[in-house]
Amino acid sequence: MSGDVFLAYHPLYDGRGFSPLTRSWGRYREARALFAKLGLDRWITTIEPPLARIDELTLAHPPHFIERVRRLDAMGTGPFDTPDTVAWPGVFDRARAAVGATMEAVRRITQGEAIHVFNPGGGLHHAFAERARGFCIFNDLAIAVRSLSQAGFEKVAVIDIDGHHGDGTQEILYDHGALHISMHQYDGRFFPGSGSVDETGWGAGHGLNLNIPLPRHTGEEAYLDAFRSIVPTAIRAYSPDVILLNFGVDGHHDDPLVKLRLGIRTYRFLAIACHELAHEVANGRLIVTGSGGYDPDVVSRCWSVLIATLTGQLPDVPALSTRLTLDAPSREATSRAILDALGRDDAWPQPFGCLLDRQVPTSDPKAAAIVGATIHRIINEVLPLRLTRHDASNAIRPCFPGLPSN
């Protein structure tokens, strides 16, 4: 199930980034240095992608918007659509580099040259069709989905685990027919303010836009409960040809922007689970984008866990079976047991012990109760729209401990 990973990496990643948090611009260099320290670079095939072409950008953005970005680049200053996202000389090519790397991943996947491709500079999920915001100019995820559809891969699933809602991806794909899952912090006020359970898509996309909104201080156990109760069921029911995993790691408890209180154990679980799902339903085809994450140490450790998992260099945890990882939580298979197994020293053989968090994040019991109610609502109100199997022999009936499971 594991093997070499293609790394789509443009030299422009080493320069200025889109975020005003300048320290975050060094995350790409730090991550590659850690890959080398851990010996992971031997299992990585690095490719330098071309900048995205204009005809590729127009898969999700109208020409007048693309021209506006080019014009602001030439001016070298000024905001786009929110004050946090500003123009600077070179921003147009930097944005094209992010999209170009994801499009290179699409080409490698569709041509059968790779099954796992990682673009650390992709995942610009706040970019709308005609708005640049939230540190995102062009939406490479939406462009990739439409490009894959044109190439004959009509069923594409996006799993977005960034701590912020993928509002731009949702807007562009709302009636497309792709499956869009977003797990994110949400209270109606936290940026971007969207991402409620009620936003379920329309037209061809009705029932395929799946938001899993989570409160502040959700913590690792409740987060795993939400993922395990909902995501495998939705992915299996939809049965995608390709999975796009937006591996934003700003939900980590040391990140400055998001307050979900997740840890390295969470991101190792997510890497394992999404890798297993890709092999179970999509012949292994998995495109991963880096998205959010603003502490370079956290980002480099989480991305190293991802690469080590995809390449098989971080060995399987003996106590974790595929059933335990991907089945809904039960009294016999709790998320606490998964976290305990992932926290054991023998789950992190050398040289990977350096990836462990120095401190385990805490959770809020009130937040966990909110998560439980959200899970129950999604299972009973959202999944039945399009994402449950109707034949009794193959039905998947996830349940959440302590709540009714109709």
Q: Write the pLDDT tens digit of every residue in 35-72.
A: 999 999 999 999 999 999 999 999 999 999 999 999 99
Is the pLDDT assigned to residue 2 strictly greater than 70? Answer: no
What is the structure's pLDDT at 403?
44
Q: What is the pLDDT of residue 399?
A: 44
Helical H segments across 285-333, by residue range: 296-311, 322-326
Instruction: List residues bridging with 210 in a β-sheet.
Output: 181
The H-assigned helical ranges of 207-295 are: 220-238, 264-281
If you average pLDDT over residues 354-359, what whole number do you get?
A: 96
Output the pLDDT for position 366. 96
Q: Higher model confidence: residue 327 or residue 254?
A: 254
Q: What fold does the segment set 5-394 form as a domain? A: Arginase; Chain A (3.40.800)
pLDDT at 176: 95
- Closest by Cα among 145, 327, 99, 301 to 233: 327
- Point out the residues that are catalytic: 126
**What does the pLDDT read at residue 320?**
79
Q: Is the pLDDT of residue 394 over 60?
A: no
pLDDT, tens digit, for every residue of 265-315? 999 999 999 999 999 999 999 999 999 999 999 999 999 999 999 999 998
% residues pLDDT > 70 (the chain)? 94
Residue type, 394: N
Given a cut of 50, is residue 395 above it in pLDDT? Answer: no
The number of angstroms, rounded, from the C-alpha of 272 to the middle of its chain's C-alpha atoms is 13
Domain ranges of the chain: 5-394
> How many whole angstroms separate alpha carbon 135 and alpha carbon 125?
9
pLDDT value at residue 402: 40
Q: DSSP code of 179?
A: E
pLDDT band at 388 (very low <50, low <70, confident <90, very high): confident
Q: What is the mean pLDDT of the chain?
A: 93
pTM over 0.85: yes
Residue 105 above 60 pLDDT? yes
Q: What would you report as the CA-atom Rg of the chain, rounded to the nearest whole angstrom?
A: 20
pLDDT at 398 over 70: no
The predicted structure's pLDDT at residue 389:
62
> Quick one: pLDDT at residue 258?
97
Per-residue confidence band for 332, with pLDDT thresholds at 50, 70 and 90:
confident
∠ Cα 300 275 179 (to 5°): 105
User: What is the rounded distance in angstroms from the CA atom of residue 142 to the CA atom of residue 61?
Assistant: 10
When pLDDT is cut at 50, 70 and 90, the band that residue 393 belongs to is very low
